[in-house]
Structure 1
Amino acid sequence: MFWGYSPALDLLNEILESNLKLNDDENELNILIIGASDCRHVLKTISKYYKHVENYGNKKIKLNFYICEVLLELVARQLLLFLIAFEPPEVLGLKEKTRLFMEVYGNTLVRPKTATYIYKKTFQLIHCITDLSYLNRRLPVINLNLLKYKERDSLETIFKFWQENKTFTVTQIWNKRLRQSLGVRYDSKEGVYDWDYHMKLKDRPDGSRINSREYRKWRDSGIAFTWLETEVSETNPTLTCGIFRYGDKILHYGYLGDIVNGPYIAFGLQCEDDEMLKTVNGVYAKRATDITERNLSRLFWEIQNNTAYVHAKEEEESSNLGVVITELTETSVKVNDEPSVSSNEPNLVSDIGDVLKNLNIKETYNSIELLPDISIIFLPLNAIKDIPSKHNYQNYFHLIWLSQNLSKQFSPKFIPMVKNNGLILIENKLYIINLDKDEFDKYPDNVNDIFNSSSGCSYYKKFDYKKDNYAKLTVERK
């Protein structure tokens, strides 16, 4: 929940590697993403579009991403993350955009500046879901037309809760979750963190690229990404679960997400720059936080400029600390404090009303212009049950991506939705370190059970569940 457990994929590259060919009259690729929890695959695919144009004979290809989630809180978070990712450079610089995205994505506590940004953007997100014509101007790539009215109403409730954010004391909730999960081991929790890291996570492919200190920091506080020059102190309201309206109040179930595996897998394990993966005395010189920052910087740069990202070496040399052992600072926590609404917070109650009025004004600028023609379509929550019976989706998708936690809900009824020679990618449970070994060993059999001999599916790459992030299948019809 809240983040994925497999590295971000360039889905266009997956399609090209499988030798799936478009018909001469086709100029669109339809991709269904089920239960990804975040927007990593969409952003990675958009960022690498410039590399693949020539592979389609320089024909302009439209990309249609259909997003299916089971919780509206995940939809709300993705809308905010897309908003951040597509902000124009005059609004958010590259470095600030990257760190802002990382904090919202994986930190229970964020900088005051980040809290202020979230607070301001909730007003714009409410405008987006209540006025689709405004959404079409402000974030034209996002399509919410298929959501039900009650789902859009619930999204508005979620964003209003993010604004108020008075009852979500994430540090207390996190500590309570730790006590419940560890039980009598709570007093020796540091030993539990070390055991999980050295005996489980570190042995997974590239798992040692996650620094043991940053992993322990996250396990203890929920703060995944830190920098020496910044301090986090404000609650991240986007990690609230089960938000609902009860009379004139908005209630919630607190934080029900992951407290074991961590948000490092999506962007923090692999990197195109070899210097980010160097070791010193057998220890990786860079943290997963540093790798994530580099990958997201490249991703946002390539989305904005449609060219390859080249990191400035002089900047790298001046900021490279190497393998430095430092004590992580204690986290300053403010309980029940609302984020400030501006850098010059007004002192008078009458002025606060004016500030809120100004925040509620619709922003007039647009998101950055993207190279490919893109549509990101959010499906209703019950789509995973209903979509296989929809006639208009039969023989429609070129690729279906399925998360490991929803694999049991996938059935052969989905196969007719995939085009001939289309792809099905099923996420592996490789980085679910708290999974029972017997259950993990049975996962390949569970995947095979989904596809019987009559379904026409076969692996186009051999699946090694102890090494591979995905089971990759193709649909072949006679």
Structure 2
Amino acid sequence: MTAAGSANGFGTTAWWGFSPALDLQDTCLESSVEHLQPSQDDIPELNILLVGSIDGRHILKTMSRLCRWPQRKINFYVLENNLETVGRQLLFLSLALEPSTKMGLQEKSETFLDLMGNTLLRSQTASYLQEKANLFIRYVTDSDFQVTHLPSVDLSALKFKERDQLESIFRFWRNPDPQAFQIKQLWDLRLRQYLGSRYDARRGVCDWDLTMKLHEHGANVINIREFFHWRDTGIAFEMREGAYDIPNKTLASGRLLRHKGEPLPARGYWGDIATGPYITFGIESEDPSLLKTTNGIPSKSSQEISLHNITALLSELQNNVRYDPLAPSNEDGSGDYTRMDASNRPFTTEDIRVYFLPLNCLSELHHKDKYRQLFNLIFFSCSMVHFLQPNLNLMSATKATLIVELTNFLPDLRKEQLLEFSSRVTNLARGAGFVPIETTDKKIFSLFQLGVREAGEINSNTST
């Protein structure tokens, strides 16, 4: 069997983003309260459309920092091109919202990274996944049950066929048979197809891609030891000693492959084997001590930074205070911290709502009145840029912000291809009525605004 995309490192199913997580309130150019529409109870609403955000990282970071902003409701509308990604985002959201009485902060953080970036899981994580799969099956088959137990999520827009397919995915997740997804063999097959004659020299290829590509664009905290280990095994995060030996079935996706001219359904690993999951939470941090270098060498690994950042994110979401690892910690993982000045209010499920939209429905949304001029901020991943069409401005609120992820962290691309992609993004955005706001040589995102006459008219604090 052959598969289109198997010979490139990006793959055909993205499992994690290729840019760091954003607090979208901080990124939105018009997020001050006076520019937002009031909801039914007169609390301002920020409406955000995420096209191919893949792993929910922007939702989680934005949720965790609600306490830093004036009170408003945030509605996330999530649009993906495959249901496995929808399932994983549901899993990460559910995990993040687990009560501290059920799961401590450290365990939650380690479980999150385990599920997000490892091909093989610890038995404890695998048991958690099976438990959640049973719950999710009931979510997609019993709407009332889902609304009662996870009210922050709205699945009502999904088609019945998509719900059936999600149920099938969750049934696969709960299958305890390790032979159902032979990820070790699948990973090695992808690696051999990708590297070809370079397979035996893969350590050198890995070193080149890391130092000449990823480090060049700002991911210098990723070290060769952790990067090569991930490239060779698919395991990015090993936080504890113990056996990582149970396949992570959330990284499986289905495709139709041609065999002797006939299409046959197959389940395999069609994801990234070139960049890795370190970019999302492991190359930036609010804590500058994590980014220090000694003789030009980072003092912390990307795995350590990822664990700190996820722990901080989940802690702030749970406790409504900025994370302080030195603060005294209670048994449930909460600390005796000083509250943030901006809000001083606990997070509630009334603050946010995550709407999962039907697959690839963007070209149809502008026909529905409820989406017209709705979105204050729109995010596009680099893999979904082809959906950036002129009708996008019909769904955009006044002076809406558009953020597009660039391809800087795709090692397969040459410098001229990166520039070509960035130019294409700008042309597509202009075609939809958006104008560039900031331009720098080594930015990770392109930033635009609807209705701004000249680039630079608005001074943004956003780091792009």
Task: Identify the TM-score tier after normalising by the shorter chain.
Answer: 0.7 to 0.9
Cα 1:456–1:200 change in 2 (3 A) is closer
Letter in 1 for 2:442: K
Gaps of 5+ in 1: 54-59, 245-249, 316-367
Alpha-carbon distance change, 31 to 307 in structure 1, aligned in 2, over 3 angstroms? same
> Counterpart of 1:202 in structure 2: which amino acid?
H
Aligned residues: 411
The structural deviation recorded for 1:17 is 6.8
- Mapped contact 1:20–1:421 kept (Cα < 8 A): no
**TM-score when normalising by structure 2:** 0.84
Asked if 1:463 is matched to 2:439, the reply is: yes
1:152 maps to which residue?
A: 163
Is the 8 Å Cα contact of residues 121 and 247 (structure 2) preserved in structure 1? yes
Measured in 1, the distance between the counterparts of 2:214 and 2:181 equals: 30
By how many angstroms is 1:227 displaced?
2.8
> In 1, Cα distance between the equivalents of 2:313 and 2:53?
18
Cα contact 2:152–2:350 (8 A) shared by 1: no
Q: Secondary structure at the match of 1:50?
A: helix
Q: Tell me which residue corresponds to 1:63.
A: 74
1:34-67 CA distance string (max 9 Å, x none): 00111000010011111111xxxxxx41111000
Tell me which residue corresponds to 2:200. 187
* 1:202 aligns with one of 215, 225, 244: 215
2:93 aligns with one of 66, 70, 82: 82
Q: Is the 8 A contact 2:363 2:391 kept in 1?
A: no
Cα distance in 1, alignment partners of residues 287 and 243 from structure 2: 28
Q: Structure 2: state its 5+ residue gaps.
A: 1-13, 257-263, 330-345, 454-464
Q: Distance in 1 between matches of 2:288 and 2:282?
A: 14
Question: Is the contact between residue 151 and residue 349 of structure 2 (CA under 8 Å) also seen in structure 1?
Answer: no
What's the counterpart of residue 152 of structure 2?
Answer: 141
Any conservation in 2 of the 1:128–1:134 contact (CA below 8 Å)?
yes
In structure 1, C-alpha distance between the alignment counterparts of 2:378 and 2:231, rounded to whole Å: 33
CA distance in 2, matches of 1:275, 1:69: 36
Q: Is the 8 A contact 2:38 2:45 kept in 1?
A: no
Question: What secondary structure does 1:30 align onto?
Answer: strand
Whole-angstrom CA distance in 2 between matches of 1:305 and 1:34: 30
Match of 1:101 in 2: 112
Q: Is the 8 A contact 1:428 1:471 kept in 2?
A: yes
2:32 matches 1:15 = no
Worse-matched range after superposition: 253-262 or 403-412: 403-412
1:172–1:431 Cα change, 3 Å? same
- The answer to whether the 8 A contact 1:126-1:156 is kept is yes
CA RMSD across the alignment: 2.2
Q: Do the aligned partners of 2:66 and 2:347 also contact (CA within 8 Å) in 1?
A: no
How far did 1:19 drift? 5.9
Cα 1:103–1:251 change in 2 (3 A) is farther
Q: Which amino acid aligns with 2:90?
A: L
Aligned mates of 1:291, 1:144 — CA distance in 2 = 33
Q: Is the 8 A contact 1:268 1:292 kept in 2?
A: yes
- How far residue 438 of structure 1 moved from its aligned partner, in angstroms, is 2.4
Of 269-278 and 259-268, more deviation after overlay is shown by: 269-278
Q: Which residue of 1 aligns with 2:316?
A: 302
1:237 and 2:254 equivalent? no
Q: Match for residue 405 of structure 1?
A: 383
Whole-angstrom distance in 2 between the partners of 1:314 and 1:23: 39
TM-score by length of 1: 0.82
AA partner of residue 475 (structure 1): L
* 1:129 equivalenced with 2:140 (yes/no): yes
Asked if 1:220 is matched to 2:237, the reply is: no
2:36–2:45 CA contact under 8 A, matched in 1: no
Residues 443 and 228 of structure 1: CA distance in aligned 2, closer, same or farther (over 3 Å): same
Are 2:357 and 1:379 equivalent residues in the alignment? yes
* 1:140–1:252 Cα change, 3 Å: farther
- Pick aligned residue for 1:274 from 270, 283, 288: 288
1:281: how far off? 2.3
CA 1:171–1:23 in 2, change beyond 3 Å: closer, same or farther? closer
Alignment of 1:50 with 2:67, yes or no, is: yes
Q: Which amino acid aligns with 1:476?
A: G
Please tell me the residue identity of whatever aligns with 2:299: A
Please state whether the residue corresponding to 1:33 is helix, strand or coil.
strand
Q: 1:129–1:135: 8 Å Cα contact kept in structure 2?
A: yes
CA drift of 1:243 comes to: 6.8
Q: CA deviation at 1:436?
A: 3.1
SS in 1 for 2:279: coil
Q: Secondary structure at the match of 1:84?
A: helix
SS class of match (1:31): strand
| CA–CA separation in structure 2 for the residues paired with 1:241 and 1:23 | 39
Q: 1:436 to 1:139 in 2, by over 3 A?
A: same
Structure 1 segment 444-459 matched on structure 2, within 5 A? 444-452=422-430, 455-459=432-436
Secondary structure at the aligned position of 1:242 is classed as strand
Equivalent residue, structure 2, for 1:39: 56
Match of 2:462 in 1: none
Partner of 1:391: 369
- For residues 434 and 285 of structure 2, the distance between their equivalents in structure 1, rounded to whole angstroms, comes to 32
Cα 1:155–1:74 shift into 2, 3 Å: same
C-alpha contact (below 8 Å) 1:157/1:243 kept by paired residues: no
Distance in 2 (alpha carbons) for counterparts of 1:215 and 1:447: 29
Q: CA deviation at 1:125?
A: 0.7
Q: Is the 8 A contact 1:63 1:372 kept in 2?
A: no
- Kindly indicate whether the alpha-carbon contact (under 8 Å) linking 2:57 and 2:280 is maintained by their aligned counterparts in 1: yes
AA of the residue aligned to 2:447? K
Deviates more, 1:11-20 or 1:300-309: 11-20
The 3-state SS of whatever aligns with 2:190 is helix
Distance 2:394 2:311 in 1: 38
Deviates more, 1:95-104 or 1:79-88: 79-88
Contact 2:317 2:347 in 1 (8 A): no
Alignment of 1:245-284 (within 5 A): 252-284=266-298
